[in-house]
Amino acid sequence: MVKNEDMPTDLVADILARLPAKPLMRFKCVQKSWYSLIQNPRFVAKHLLCFNKKDNIKGVDHLLVKRTRPATFDSSDQCRKAFISLLSFNQVTNHTSLNLLDLPYYQNNVTHIQILGPCNGIYCLYSIPISLINPSTRELKVVPNYPIRSSPGTYNLQSYPGFGFDPKTNDYKVVLLMDSWREDTNENLGWLAEIYSLKSNCWRQVDCPVPASISIWCESWIHCYVHRAYHWWGYDDVGDLILAFDISDEMFRTIRGPNLGISSEEIAGIVASFKESISVITYPREGTEKYFDVWVMEDYGKEESWTKQLRIGPILDVERPLGFWRNRQLLLEDSNGRMVLYDPDAEEIKNLVVHGERSSLQAAIYMESLVSLRGETEENQAGISYVDIVPDPIVDGSSV
């Protein structure tokens, strides 16, 4: 029998890189060499790539989901709260499990949390407070409060977050857009932009100005970080467009959407990532039967490359898209506030047993990761805690 100390280090690394993060965290206690290996940034990168390969995932899919529901498990409770859960489902056996992330800093009166991510297994939870989380290692970092740099006599109404990874500096960044208005005349003064760096653990003002004529349609409930840039769906006097922020260069740019005149009282649109590019999903706002047209920018940054690649549907009793899944499958919220998965090839729809208030659902692809939120200095480690993951007693709204 070959002892583990006799095995080549590369072979040990290849084997361990295919295991989930949870046992790897325990294996760090087996021996010093394993601890050093699993902590090594090169192994962390190798594990991120190897474990999350499609052919390494054995039929079980995972999503990080958000929903708003009663704050307690009493259906008569009038207090509402946003919950984050880890959803696991097997598309072959249809077995589904749901586990809650017990977030220590979010009290029962927090009704809004927006999930942004993943970026290398790291997610941003945009709420009060803003936090970063790695569900695989259960690390949670509370981000310092962002400074309010509004001029005297002005106020802010809306804020729109973005999140991404800067490969140039190996840093994770949160960007925040805030509108600005004059108190006396209610005149729109344009946008303010702040950016948070995990490495420096502080906020600073973005030097590049945001084009003042742009408006954002609404909060982006589908995370769209592609080609190092975060994207919001907006418009100006000409029509619909996409506002992009390059996380590395910290520059804003606009990308004109497909010339459809789509966002209106009848037709809605939202930007989403699709096969390493950006897409725009359009669909009717009203009606019991809806179709979803998918326009894809085939050559990123070139507006003439917009192509209509899919028409999904019509589908009965659905409200809005929540993002794409494997093999062109579309995650949706139905008219009863349930999360469902539609397979356009089989024309089948599956209930994923996630239920919340209408228009409260959000879904993000789950990615296993050993990436740590801990910095190298004591200052950067401030705000780090660990979350518990517990079974969710509410499944498919049976107790809602």
How do residues 24-73 score in pLDDT, each as one tens digit?
A: 988 888 888 888 889 899 999 999 988 887 554 556 788 999 998 876 65
Distance of CA 110 to the CA centre of its chain: 18
Average pLDDT of span 199-219: 87
Question: How far from each other are the two terminal CA atoms of the chain, in whole angstroms?
Answer: 55
Q: Which residues pair with 268 in a beta bridge?
A: 283
- C-beta separation of 164 from 195 below 8 A: no
Assign 1 a pLDDT band (cuts: 50, 70, 90): very low
Which tokens belong to 391?
């079974």
Region 211-222: mean pLDDT is 83
The C-alpha R_g of the chain, in whole angstroms, comes to 22
Q: Contact at 8 Å (CB) between 175 and 247?
A: yes
Stated pTM of the model: 0.90
Q: What is the pLDDT of residues 133-164, one digit of tens each?
A: 999 999 999 999 887 666 777 877 788 999 99
Give me the chain's average pLDDT, please: 85
**pLDDT single digits (tens) 315-341:** 999 999 999 987 788 999 999 999 999
Is the pLDDT at 183 greater than 60, yes or no?
A: yes
Q: Are strands 362-365 and 131-134 parallel, antiparallel or unpaired?
A: unpaired
Nearest to 371 by CA among 90, 42, 85: 42
Cα separation, 181 vs 310, whole angstroms: 40
Q: Is the pLDDT of residue 262 over 80?
A: no
Share of the chain above pLDDT 90, in %: 44
Task: Pick the closest to residue 247 from 195, 179, 200 (CA basis).
Answer: 195
Q: Quick check: 253 pLDDT over 50?
A: yes
